[in-house]
Structure 1
């Protein structure tokens, strides 16, 4: 149970910490509207992460049963995918930092809390990196020992809680920390932290007993 909780928290923070275009928009949205609107938008992002964690967990369990004979190579392949995501995230952050390219959005009428939730939920659901991240993580951590539904539930809830806590932090700091987190240095640092967390997950996957 504790292992599922820790794995879920690490997975949630690993995908949530980098401040990209969605995070930048969340901070700027909160800064120009209200904390209530920003919090709803943050929960929309976290809900998408939680849904993908749930889908990947359920699908991963079914695929693990069907692919049991090749779970060893599959774990290595999944770890390599996570490492690739970590490297690509870090390289992309460095390129953006060196090229001084910041994500910008044209000014639009400020949405209300409900529209903010639905809008950020939809944007995050369209992110293919989230799908790949959770699928690789869940498939790579399956072993021959059956994973209990309760542990799956704990993993999904922990991933949602981790994502929600970070997104709410971004929303809460929208007015005070917006420039620091979404500036060139802030985005570089958060991307590097995320890449480090994903790398730890990949290493743990490789050293875990088969």
Structure 2
């Protein structure tokens, strides 16, 4: 796992530096039935899954109305992270790894350009695994994650105060609008030097060795 992660990061960093800015764009595969009930076939369609014998079959496939996307088997106008965030450039603010706001199977690494700006590089986890913000590795089992639980809590209203990531206190985010888009997006930040975000501020605890310098 660690070898794969290090190799993926090194390859992605090299690609980002050589190729210049890149967009965070995700392909949308058609999903398969794994249990009975309503499911999202794609971001713009839903289907009913029925078990026939030992296999599942899709029936009553429907297209969502304009202006809506499929979330949990239902068409909605609300923020839908897996669909709404798929084609948005991740707005890097600081160097480091961040959870993809709408896809457990990916994470973002922000690479400095040397001029105060950053490249957002998407890194895929190994098949069947998801990014864990607590360990900063792809150590989650995707089969145990509910389709209605996301790497970052959905932004349903603008933030009055920054919110801390529940799995990694060094990451905090603000639900804000992005220019040209009418929905809210979680802008992610990190506290420097491994600090923890608490009560509206980054708290940095220096080691004894640092204090002696």
More strand by share: 2
The structure with higher relative contact order (CA 8 Å, sep 6+) is 1
Higher Cα radius of gyration:
2
| Same fold flag (TM > 0.5) | no
